[in-house]
A = this chain, B = another copy of it.
Amino acid sequence: MTARRVTVVENILNANDQVAVLNRSRLDEAGVLSINLMASPGAGKTSFILQTIRALAPRLRIGVVEGDTAPVTIDADKVIAAGMPAVQINTGGDCHLDAVMLKNGLEQMPLDGLDLLIVENVGNLVCPAAFKLGTHLNILVASIPEGDDKPYKYPAIYRGLDVLIINKTDLLPYVPFNMSYFQQGVELLNPGVVTFPVSCRTGEGIQAWADWLLHKSEEMKK
């Protein structure tokens, strides 16, 4: 009896990952590089997406899936105003997106016309780390005014990253932030992770990130 219960639990845990595999196949077939963009509330995910669109729009067609806990279209509206397709997913209060939510989002997205898909996860440093979506890259937007101790306090989300964006560098003169303490924590959890310091307000650092991403997108099409 016990063995049977364990099996059931395993199936439940794997259900999300199975759908994530389907999402990945779908994105691979369409040749769309995809990003799971995570951050705490207000770290600047949407501003970062808009800066990325601005830097790459002539060369890449970018779609955005917006995850929100409430039925507000504030972020999706900004993406559409920037001339790119956006799909809004309301998690109904849940603290993260999961693979099934993204699957539903992908069905409404014109994948064949896209080069890049950015999935803006719910603003949260805890829950999104536990749910694979099937995207190619896990990217976290950290933010200077959040403070330098976040890798130590929220290690799970730092461990699985492919890229770390350090946003709001323009605020460095105005807040206490020990960059070497921050980076020591990051290095402990995720040695050698690709990192881009940026300011989405001034645009500083965006070009280096955009060049890297363009290169990744071109690699995908080979």
Identify A174's interface contact among B74, B127, B130, B170, CB under 8 A: B170
Q: Do A42 and B123 have beta carbons less than 8 Å apart?
A: no
Residues of B within 8 A of A176 (CB): 201
Contact-residue size bin, chain A (C-beta under 8 Å from the other chain): 35 or more
Q: Report chain B residues within 8 Å CB of A156.
A: 69-70, 93
**A147 interface residue (CB < 8 Å to B):** yes
**A93–B127 CA distance with the chains assembled, in angstroms:** 9
Q: Interface readout for A166-198 with B: 1 if CB under 8 Å, 0 if not?
A: 001011001110000000000000000000000
Given A41-B154, A72-B153, A153-B68, decide whether A126 and B170 contact each other with a Cβ distance below 8 A. Answer: no
Closest Cβ of chain B to A203, distance in Å, is: 14
Please tell me which one of the listed residues B93, B143, B145 contacts residue A126 in the complex, with CB atoms under 8 A apart: B93
Question: What residues of B have a CB within 8 angstroms of the CB of A154 in the complex?
Answer: 41, 69-70, 123
Say if the beta carbon of A125 comes within 8 Å of chain B.
Answer: yes
Q: Does A155 contact B (CB under 8 A)?
A: yes
Q: Which of A26-82 contact B (CB under 8 A)?
A: 40-42, 68-70, 72, 74
Measured CB to CB, the nearest residue on chain B to A44 is B147
With contacts A93-B156, A95-B95, A123-B153 taken as known, whether A143 is within 8 angstroms of B70 at the C-beta atoms is: no
Inter-subunit contact A124/B143 (CB<8 Å): no
A139-165 contacts to B (CB < 8 Å): 143, 145-147, 149-150, 152-156
Q: Which residue of the partner chain B has the closest CB to A72?
A: B152
A139 to B124 Cα, complex, angstroms: 19
Provide the residues of chain B in CB contact with A155, threshold 8 Å: 70
Cβ 8 A contact of A145, one of B95, B123, B143, B153: B143
A74 to B182, CA, bound (A): 14
A-to-B contact residues, CB < 8 Å: 40-42, 68-70, 72, 74, 93-95, 122-127, 130, 143, 145-147, 149-150, 152-156, 168, 170-171, 174-176, 201
- What would 12 more interface pairs be, CB under 8 Å, given A42-B143, A124-B126, A170-B174? A69-B154, A70-B156, A72-B152, A74-B153, A93-B126, A93-B156, A95-B124, A95-B127, A122-B126, A123-B154, A127-B127, A145-B168
